[in-house]
Amino acid sequence: MNNVDKLFLKIKNSSPICVGLDTAYEYLPSFIKDKQLDLSEKIFLFNKGIIDSTKDEVACFKIQIAYYEAMGIEGLLAYSKTIKYIRENDGLVIGDIKRGDIAQTATMYAKAHFEGEFEVDFITLSPYMGMDSIEPYLPYVEKGKGLFVLVRTSNNGAKDFQFVSDDNNTLYEIVGDKINELGKKYIGECGYSCIGMVLGATHSFEALKLRKRWDDSFFLIPGYGAQGGKGEDIKNYLKSGEGGIVNSSRGILLAFKKENRNEMDFGKWAYEECINMKNDILGAFR
């Protein structure tokens, strides 16, 4: 099976939730900060607790590399170790790297994140340099890897460029049409392409139209929770709870910091947040 088929089955067996392991040092419970460990081990210890507590209730994990790059070599060691731990435990990992470059540079990015120490199952890409910035990744897609390409993001600044329109289409719709067309060459057994799209939950007013327009594209949907997205915002991006994954990062990672919660139980509170998120999203279909 290719990775989109594996992800589809994970959703069927658990939920459409993706846990974002965007782990900053300041997020760690104080008892982990106080341990006599290297920084990489502290970060990994926290990540492992989140993974172990939530893996049975979620479809995959997304790791934003910038959080780890900001911590230097120790951060990248934690990034690599976290990836390996998830994959060794039959989990799926999205490397949220948002690369966008052409020719040999993109070829090296593909090699860096689909092979070796940083190998993941999916990566995120920015297409706004053109379709030739996607092409170097396609040999890996042919072998089963997956892509999530930025089409319409959840930040306020998305309107600066992505929503610019001609008489018929916005820029993001033009980009989405091109990504959707390319993806038709890589349809899995589940009916979705290994080349998916990033569509932010916080701009949900056209969700039904976009779901129909890009029917065989799998969606990565950020913006739930801390950014304001709710289950009702998500509903129309999915097909009866399928066809996409919904990411939450801070809402899950920092659940233990809510009032009167014991930080030693950070994994328990992350699990509870996943259950609440699952009920909110799937409850919107009832």
- The catalytic residues are 98
- Kind plus residue range of the DSSP H or E element containing 123: strand 122-125
The answer to whether 92 touches 6, Cβ cutoff 8 Å, is yes
> Distance between CA atoms of 274 and 255, rounded to whole angstroms?
10
Residues 6 or more apart in contact with residue 215 via CB below 8 angstroms:
none
Structural tokens at position 191: 């009916």
- Kind plus residue range of the DSSP H or E element containing 220: strand 219-221
Question: CB atoms < 10 A from the CB of 212, how many?
Answer: 9
**220 φ/ψ angles, rounded to the nearest 5 degrees:** -100, 120
